[in-house]
Structure 1
Amino acid sequence: MSALGPVLHVRDVRKGYRQRPVLRGVSLDLHAGQLVGIVGENGAGKSTLLRILAGDLAADSGTVERAGLLGCCPQEVVLHQAFTVNQHLQYFQAAYGISHLTRAFELLEQLNFSDYRHERVAALSGGTRQKLNLVLALMHDPQVLLLDEPYQGFDWETYLRFWDLAAALRKRGCAVLIVSHLAYDASRLDTLYRLEAGVLRQTEQAESGMEAV
C-alpha cells in the first residue's frame, strides 16, 4: 500500500466453519483518521471478521493488508487476575518495546482511571477492566485500532469519555474500527456498515444517531 492509500485494505475475505459459510466476501478500506462502525446481529460473524483483521485467525480466502502499528481490543478481556494495573502496563510496555509509559498515563487520565493503578484486576469491576483493556490496546500509539464491543460495561460518564477519546484518536490520524451489535451515536461515525448474510454493506446512518439490529 502506498503512503496515501488505506491503512487497512480488505478484499473478498471468506471464512466458514464445518461447511457453514460465515463471511461470504467482505471488502473494506479504512483510512488514517477515519472512524468506522460495523453492526450486525449476534452470530453474524463480527468477531470472526475482527480476528481475521487482527491476524489472529486465518481467512479461507481473500486478502488483508495493514500499514503501521495495530491495536486490538477484544470483547473478552485477557487480563491476569493477580496483576495490578501498573503491572499490566509494564508487561505490555516490554511486549511493545516502548521506552516509557507517558501515553499509557495520558489514556488512564482521559478515562478517569488513574486512581486504580495499584489495584489488582481481580478487584476491578467489568467496566473498569474494559478501560484497562482499551488502554493496553492504545498505549503503543497504533495507526489502526480494532474494537470489539468497546463500551460494554461502561457507565454513562465513561461512555461519553470513550467517544471523546475516539474523536481525539481521529485527530491523531488513527483509523478506528468499532464492531458492535448496536451502533450507538452513529452520527459520530464517518461510515457505518452492516454485516448481514456474510456480506458487508454500507448503511444509511439513523437520523436519531442510533441504529439497533
Structure 2
Amino acid sequence: MPHERDAAPARDQSMTTPTLRDLQPGRLVYIPADAALTSPRPLALIISEATPSKSAPTDVWLNGQVLRPDGSNPLRYNTATVLALLDKLTIAPPGLRQCVATACPNSYDTIAMYAGEPIHPGWRMLQRGILGGTNLCPHHAPTVVTPDGTFHHAPTAMERDTGTITCTCGALLYPRMASKTTPVVRAACVLAYGTHIHDMTPQRTP
C-alpha cells in the first residue's frame, strides 16, 4: 500500500529490529546515532553487505549506499562501512519501494500490494531501458510521462565509461562517483536521475 506525501516517514511504518538473517543486500536499514559505533550521526543504508563482528556478537559491519536519516535519497552517491549495534537498528519491510526523486518520502509496499491491498493511482515504473524498475510516485510521475504517454524526462542513453545519462529533455546527467569506479555503478546513475526529476518537478500540491 502506498504511503502518501503527508503520511509519516517510511521508517515509522512496519519497522522492525532485524536479525543478521534479515540484513540482506538491497534492504533499507536505519542506524540511529547511538547505534553507529563508527559514525556520530544517524543515517540510513541500502545494504550491499553485512557481516557480524568477530570481536562482539552484538555488533555488525554494514556496507552500503548512504541515504539521508529518513531514508530518502541524498544529492550524491556515497558508500560507507559502519560498525553498528544490531539490537538498535531498524529495518524497512522487504517489499518497500520508494520514489526515485531525491528527498521524496513516498513509498509503497509491494508485498501488501500482491496480498490484495490497492495501490494508489498514479504510481509509475520505468519498465525498460537503462534505469528500468525505477519507481515514480503520483507527485513525480507526471514530470516524466504525461497521461497520453509522452515522455518529457526519461533516460534514453547512458555512456558506458562515465555513466553520463541523456534525458529526453536533452539534459546530460552526471552521476557522482569515485574517479576510478569501474564499472559504472547503477545506484549512482539512479541518484543522478532522481535529482533531475526533483529539480524538474513543478512546486505543485501533491
TM-score interval, normalised by the smaller of the two chains = under 0.3
TM-score, normalised with respect to structure 2: 0.27
Relative to its length, the structure with more helix (as a share) is 1
TM-score, normalised with respect to structure 1: 0.26
Question: Taking CA–CA contacts closer than 8 Å with sequence separation of 6 or more, which of the two structures ends up with the larger relative contact order?
Answer: 1
